[in-house]
Amino acid sequence: MVDVQSETVDRYIKDGKIKPDLSVPFGDKRMFHYFREKSVRNIAKQYGWDLITPQNMADKFMKFIETMDMSFSYKPVLLKAIYEYMDSNGRVALPDVVDYFIDFYEDRKAHGMIAEKPNSIYQKGGYTKKDVEKNILSNPFKRFEDMRFLMRCKDVETVEVNPIIFRKLTREDWLHIVDVCDKSLEKYYLRIKK
My answer on whether 87 and 39 are in the same domain is no
Residue 15 pLDDT class (50, 70, 90 cuts): very high
- Structural domain count, the chain: 2
Q: How far apart are CA 149 and CA 143, in angstroms?
A: 9
Query: Does the model's pTM come out above 0.75?
Result: yes
My answer on whether 96 and 163 are in the same domain is yes
40-76 pLDDT, tens per residue?
999 989 999 888 888 999 999 999 999 988 899 999 9
My answer on whether 39 and 15 are in the same domain is yes
69-93 pLDDT, tens per residue?
889 999 999 999 999 999 999 999 9
SS3 track for 41-94: HHHHHHHCCCECCCCCHHHHHHHHHHCCCCCCCHHHHHHHHHHHHCCCCCEEEH
pLDDT of residue 144: 92
Asked whether residue 1 is domain-assigned, the answer is no
My answer on whether 185 and 90 are in the same domain is yes
Mean pLDDT of 104-114: 96
| Whether residue 154 has pLDDT greater than 80 | no
Strands (E), the chain: 22-26, 30-34, 91-93, 150-152, 158-161
Helix, strand, coil percent values for the chain (each to nearest 5) = 55, 10, 30
| Percentage above 70 pLDDT, the chain | 99
| Whether residue 168 has pLDDT greater than 60 | yes
| Whether residue 156 has pLDDT greater than 80 | no
What's the domain range around 29? 6-51
Q: How far apart are CA 133 and CA 152, in angstroms?
A: 13
My answer on whether 88 and 44 are in the same domain is no
